[in-house]
Chains A and B, each alone.
Chain A
């Protein structure tokens, strides 16, 4: 089983700042099969990034993904008020077929 670890658990930043979120896998993840989601309170998660670095439809270009093998990063270049949320990484390919990281909460400093 591939275990995903996310750090930090909580990131306290101000609007306009840059956010860097990390996702580390216990084994190599196929770069095509690493995704990132944003979840706001009371809402369903929303797909942000797929294939490690491709933005989903309608996602602003301040969101970017990078990485390979076991280390992946989600970067928000300049935080907007609506970006304060919980972010999850997710992998596909190893039993169980799909696993999620525990999440990183980005809150307002």
Chain B
């Protein structure tokens, strides 16, 4: 059974870059698509971006100018970078496995709360 675990700083200063890593265990990262989804405190879910096993990416247009998702197949990890953050980027960030057959997120990490504050 695949397991995903987010890691990274829980506090980021405004205008800086948020960086998170997702470590995948129980399956090869080369077999699937992977995604980041975020959830501001008390609010709903927002898709951030996705990456295929070959490194092809798709991003939410509302974040596209600031987002980079990358893959490290040698370490079975994938990462998120979000630049020029503001308080509006404060959220729980989830890494997920994407089922490309059905366009849904079938496995989720526990989530990492990232707060943007000086």
Contacts and interface: CB of A to CB of B under 8 A. Distances in A.
Given A50-B99, A97-B47, A90 B62 contact: no
Interface residues of B, number: 22
B46 interface: yes
Interface of A: 32-33, 35, 37, 43-47, 50-51, 54, 56, 88, 90-93, 95-103
A96 B94 contact: no
A33 B104 CA distance: 7
Contacts of B44: 88, 100-103
Nearest to A47: B106
B60 interface: yes
Given A45-B45, A50-B99, A96 B106 contact: no
Given A44-B110, A50-B106, 6 more contacts: A32-B103, A33-B104, A44-B111, A50-B102, A93-B103, A96-B47
Contacts of A35: 102-105
Interface in B47-66: 47, 50, 58, 60-62
A96 B62 CA distance: 8
A44 B58 contact: no
Interface of B: 35, 44-47, 50, 58, 60-62, 94, 99, 102-111
A93 B101 CA distance: 12
A97 B108 contact: no
A46 B107 CA distance: 7
8 interchain residue pairs of minimum CB distance: A92-B103, A35-B104, A98-B47, A44-B108, A33-B103, A100-B45, A50-B102, A50-B104
B26 to A, nearest CB: 14
Contacts of A44: 94, 108-111
Contacts of B107: 47
B5 to A, nearest CB: 11
Contacts of A47: 104-107
Contacts of B62: 96
Contacts of A43: 110
